Amino acid sequence: MTRLALLVAMVLAGGACKKAQKAPPPQEPPVAPMSADEIKRSEDACKSYVDRVCACATTIPAATKSCQEARALPEAIRISLEVAASPDSKPDIVRTTHAGVRKTVKECIEQIAKLPALGCP
């Protein structure tokens, strides 16, 4: 009887030491893609800035550096949209890249507003 009690106690103790199963992490809800209109406005805003600042740089040397830097903005938007559209991108990455696109567009619009201060039309 003591052997049986000892065996039962060992089995119960072994079960108590068993590692707890981890619950799977909660699934993040999918992120809605940017609308075609928002994408078009984003691309147009930065293209407009590049066109205007580079046209200005032909006559105003102070705008030359801005022109060189502005050329990367449309490419940044394109790459961000590709990352967001990738099926391998997790929802947090998609949200981050959408925010990056919007931040880039904001920068384009703000820079367009600053062009008159450089003497650009």
**Is the pTM here over 0.85, yes or no?**
no
pLDDT value of residue 49: 97
pLDDT value of residue 4: 45
Higher pLDDT, 115 or 14: 115
pLDDT value of residue 2: 53
pLDDT value of residue 79: 97
The domain containing residue 47 runs over which residues?
35-118
Quote the DSSP letter at residue 34: P
pLDDT in tens, 2-61: 554 444 455 555 555 555 567 666 776 788 899 999 999 999 999 999 999 999 999 999
In a domain, residue 15? The reply is no
Number of structural domains the chain divides into: 1
Q: Are 116 and 74 in contact (CB under 8 A)?
A: no
pLDDT value of residue 5: 46
pLDDT value of residue 12: 54
Among 86, 120, 83, CA closest to 100:
83
Q: Are 30 and 93 in contact (CB under 8 A)?
A: no
